[in-house]
Structure 1
Amino acid sequence: TDALVALADAACGLRDWQPDWTLLVQRHLDTADALLPDAAVAGAAKAALEHELEGLRERLATLAAGHGDDSDRAWVHGLGEVLSSHLLHAALGGEDAGWARLDAREVLCVHPGELGVAVDWEASRDRLARWRQRHPQEHVVVTGFVASDAQGRPTTLGRNGSDHSGAIFAVLFGADELTIWTDVDGVLSADPRLVPDAVCLPMLSYAEACELAYFGARVLHPQTMAPAIRHALPIRIRNSRAPQAPGTLISTVSRGPDGLHGTPVKGLSLAEDLALLELSGAGLIGVPGTAERMFAALRQAGVSVIMISQGSSEHSICCVVRQAQAEAGRAAVVEAFAEAIDDGQAQGVNVTPDIAVLAAVGDGMVGTP
């Protein structure tokens, strides 16, 4: 995907993209030869790859000529999953072995939402039902990351969108469980680089998994869990390099068969490279709407708020933001409260850089002294 993004950027920037395109073509043809020992199977797969990559060349030429739009860029960015699906489909035996291949752009309909890309579930279900009538095979290879908008134009789910696609299609296909294959044994109780004796957690609730992911655990993107939570779909995290490991099961419950949580704290996660931004002033006490003004200013500046803490009567409001956004956040809040600061009603905005947030996560902490 990085290579495809770079190709699109080069084409839009009127730089020579053709040598890198040629390298990408050769990389995929070499992979087909290495992956598929049968010459006939490899030949068919390479023909499909060459067809897709010729389409890439045409899209890049369109972008270089200044005639492309966002949908053309999205088509280019998402091609990696399409190429991978051809290779995987062939490696599994293809149609002869009972495998269908689904380009998600034919089925998955999405639209921009307030919190990111949102799925049009009704339209997607209708499209999948029609696709299944033409492709009744039991096993299906589906592209991740890519989708279409309501007008049928190609788009993507954004980076980290492949696992999100898995959750979406697990719901659309009515699956009993979604398995996410990754490179660790499951969700660990802490970062093993910082805590060498961290253990793999056998079971987590959705809430616990969301908290751990939000505060820096890299195993599962929070967006992936949204369709699963909505449809009560269990997610199992497993290690593709150690398939014998049972992994971590994420579902509606965090308790084992004995009804116990195990320990009140399931895990610890650490979010680094953060800053503390504080607005304070005696003149803010009892003034309605102070917090609303502050967070509206941060939203307008595109600053993401990690945590919020408010003193009594709005005398001080603190929030944790990403270090890289701290100065933009400070400037936005200063502008929003310029009059109050000039009048001495507010003491100004202070930034404490280089902080980390340590989160202790566990449903069992509720009510536990």
Structure 2
Amino acid sequence: METGTSMIVMKFGGTSVGSAERLTSVLEIVKATKEKDGAPIVVLSAMSGVTDMLINAANAAKERDLDAALDILDKIHEKHKDCIYTLFQQASVVDELVEQLENHLNKLDIILRGVSYLGELTKRSLDAISCFGELLSSLIFAALLEKEGVESSWVDARTFLVTDNVFGKASPLWETTTAKAQGTILPELADERVVVTQGFIGSTASGITTTLGRGGSDYSAAILGVACEADEIQIWTDVDGMMTADPRIVPEAQVLQTVSFKAASELAYFGAKVLHPLTIKPAVEKNIPVRILNTLRPESKGTVIEEASDEQPLYAIASKKNISALFFNSLNMLMSHGFLAKVFSVFDKYRTPIDLIATSEVSVSVTIDNKDNIESILESLHELCDVRVQHDVAIVTVVGTHFRAQSGIAGQVFAALKDINIVMISGGASDITLSFVVANQDADKAVKQLHNALFATASAK
């Protein structure tokens, strides 16, 4: 790269690449960035709706409804083919892209037939199926850049993003990924070629396709940003940035211009869907700013997440629905040590993160949102204590700064929620969150009332 340029990682989500028109908008944004900062790394999600279609096809195949699975495959084919015919006029380019599309979908056809024959869908197989959306969207976009005279290189993320073998929620092997990413990507950037790659997907050391979990394209961008020592990671989406609340719940919510890494991590974890929670951690470790921007309004400044952000007394309110709350009671806890370690070891065994925790002398309450192994977890916990489960609850979290040093915040919060039944309360060891568990149906009401009470007279900075 030329002296004075910046290395930018640009991730575009499913809605940003969801149609030929949207891809054309992304093209203009990437061209402007290349002109200003040098060739960027572009990380693409699947076109909106395609990952869900792939999962639906996989599930249909598992049920041995191969016709339904192949019908979905045909719809995916038509969606991408229509996009190709809209964007490209040169027959040779169209023919080449359609051939690539059909080669990929032929591979997908074979996998779906195998799943249908066995009547079994493993996480490994689901990863092998789920990866195709990103592969197809990125192939089309790389060709669009070339059509517009922007030199680019399409790079399969599976050649550099090396992960463990936890299919469905893989984690990067950092040393290997860093070496491979730098060896593959930096030479392309040095030649001023835009690198186009995929979010969400990687591979094991032996080359088996893995995924980073739903929303993992943000994480892919952060991994690449750290591995290639980027100056900035940009997450392009369909909103102006992080907001004081979800605007679908609170229409008067305001954009936050700056947010600290710590506050952004909490907001992402507790339901601010604009950003995948794992995006923040790698960026924090290398102090790389993360900027959230709007593909539909590229002139908007968005939200910058960085360590040097001015701390605010209150940032935002987030919510996460469809959680399960678990309540444990045992007299064995009284004046004993080691009991909590035994409880937590059960969650560790089944790789199930705990969102919130509250304890007393003889009881513990926790929340989880990964219910994949909940029956096994409950069976193990019943050997230690009495367990009660409440499904269909939501976490509502207020994120701010130094709550314990601010008098009156707790009073305002509880007053705002006076007509809502609170199942559980957690203060958060970080001193920047206050979280409450309420019934799913009360979550939006709680967010609205909290926002009205806490932000009615304040403007987001």
Corresponding residue for residue 318 of structure 1: 365
Say whether 1:157 aligns with 2:157: no
Please give the root-mean-square deviation of Cα atoms over the aligned residues, in Å: 3.3
- Identity among equivalent positions (%) equals 30
Aligned length in residues: 351
Say whether 1:361 aligns with 2:409: no
Give the distance between the partners of 2:154 and 2:334, measured in 1 at CA: 62
Corresponding residue for residue 266 of structure 2: 211
Shift of 1:35: 2.2
Corresponding residue for residue 328 of structure 2: 279
Q: Any residues of structure 2 matched to 1:215-234 within 5 Å, and which?
A: 215-234=270-289
Corresponding residue for residue 7 of structure 1: 57
Corresponding residue for residue 225 of structure 2: 170
Give the distance between the partners of 1:301 and 1:120, measured in 2 at CA: 21
Corresponding residue for residue 46 of structure 1: 98
Equivalent in 310, 334, 344 of residue 295 of structure 1: 344
- In the alignment, structure 1 segments of 5+ residues that lack a partner are 256-260, 338-347
**Does the CA contact (< 8 Å) of 1:110 and 1:119 recur in 2?**
yes
Give the distance between the partners of 2:325 and 2:128, measured in 1 at CA: 39
Corresponding residue for residue 23 of structure 1: 75
- In the alignment, structure 2 segments of 5+ residues that lack a partner are 1-50, 408-461
AA partner of residue 336 (structure 1): L
**TM-score normalised by the chain length of structure 2:** 0.67
Larger radius of gyration: 1
Give the distance between the partners of 2:350 and 2:124, measured in 1 at CA: 26
**Does the CA contact (< 8 Å) of 2:165 and 2:210 recur in 1?**
no
**Does the CA contact (< 8 Å) of 1:326 and 1:351 recur in 2?**
no
Secondary structure, in 3 states, of the residue corresponding to 1:361? strand
Q: Any residues of structure 2 matched to 1:188-267 within 5 Å, and which?
A: 188-255=243-310, 261=311, 263-267=312-316
**CA 1:273/1:51 → structure 2, altered by over 3 Å: closer, same or farther?**
closer
Give the distance between the partners of 1:73 and 1:113, measured in 2 at CA: 12
**Does the CA contact (< 8 Å) of 1:215 and 1:359 recur in 2?**
yes
Moved over 6 A (4+): 323-327
Give the distance between the partners of 1:201 and 1:76, measured in 2 at CA: 37
CA deviation string 1:289-317 (max 9, x = no partner): 22223333455577653211222xx2332
Shift of 1:89: 0.9
Shift of 1:70: 5.8
**Does the CA contact (< 8 Å) of 2:150 and 2:194 recur in 1?**
no
**CA 1:131/1:294 → structure 2, altered by over 3 Å: closer, same or farther?**
closer
**Does the CA contact (< 8 Å) of 2:323 and 2:369 recur in 1?**
yes
**Does the CA contact (< 8 Å) of 2:162 and 2:204 recur in 1?**
yes
CA deviation string 1:189-240 (max 9, x = no partner): 1222333322110111111011112222111111122221222211101111
Give the distance between the partners of 2:175 and 2:86, measured in 1 at CA: 41
Give the distance between the partners of 2:298 and 2:211, measured in 1 at CA: 30
**CA 1:57/1:228 → structure 2, altered by over 3 Å: closer, same or farther?**
same
